[in-house]
Amino acid sequence: MTIPTFCLKSTLLAAGLTFLFPLLSSCKGWIMDYGRPAAQFEARNAIALAPDYLKKKVTVRGRVSGVDTSDPARCVVKLDHGVTAHFGKWKAAAEQYKVGEVIHLSGIVEAVNPSKITLDPAFGRDPKAPFAPLAPAP
């Protein structure tokens, strides 16, 4: 291998890694699609458990208390016990859920306060996929 060829390959490799590392390590879309959830829990336990998982992907199972698609750019699915899931522009995905239905959602814990938890972005999850919820310490 000649020196100019080696330098070109090294430069391309360095440029590629410089571009890809931040993209793959911080992109919420990549984490939502390919990342494993850091935790799984029931909606009734979400407020107690979620603070430890801020900015991480989690899966929550709960009963739908409301679906709001009035703003097509900010579609929201709400679960009992204060879980709010932002579906963004995915109106059709949000509308598939009916009030009273028990569903599984995956999302990034964006905010937690004493009365609610916000997942943003969030999306539905296969209810047949493995689900081993954590429980709060007694």
Q: Are residues 111 and 89 in the same domain?
A: yes
Please count the structural domains in the chain: 2
Q: What is the CATH number of the domain that holds 83?
A: 2.40.50.140
Q: Are residues 79 and 28 in the same domain?
A: no
Residue 90 counted as domain residue: yes
Q: Are residues 44 and 14 in the same domain?
A: no
Residue 40 counted as domain residue: yes
Q: What is the pTM of this model?
A: 0.74
131 sits in which H/E element: none
Q: Are residues 27 and 79 in the same domain?
A: no
Across the range 59-86, mean pLDDT stands at 96
Residue 31 counted as domain residue: yes
pLDDT cut 70: percent of the chain above it: 75
Residue 68 counted as domain residue: yes
Across the range 97-123, mean pLDDT stands at 95
DSSP string computed for 5-39: HHHHHHHHHHHHHHHHHHHHHH-HHHHHHHPPPSE
The pLDDT value given to residue 32: 46
Instruction: Compute the distance between CA of residue 134 and CA of residue 138 in angstroms, rounded to an integer.
Output: 12
The pLDDT value given to residue 52: 94
Question: Band of the pLDDT at 5, cuts 50, 70, 90?
Answer: low
Question: Band of the pLDDT at 17, cuts 50, 70, 90?
Answer: very low
**Each residue's pLDDT tens digit, 31-56:** 444 457 899 999 999 999 999 999 99
DSSP string computed for 116-127: EEEEEEEEE--T
The pLDDT value given to residue 8: 56
Q: Reduced to 3 states, what is the DSSP secondary structure of residue 4?
A: helix
Q: Are residues 45 and 99 in the same domain?
A: yes
Q: Are residues 19 and 54 in the same domain?
A: no
36: left (phi over 0), alpha (psi -120 to 50) or beta: beta
> Mean pLDDT of all residues in the chain?
83
**Parent domain of 99:** 36-124
- Let me know how many helices (H) and strands (E) the chain has, helices first: 4, 6
Instruction: Compute the distance between CA of residue 105 and CA of residue 128 in angstroms, rounded to an integer.
Output: 12
The pLDDT value given to residue 9: 62
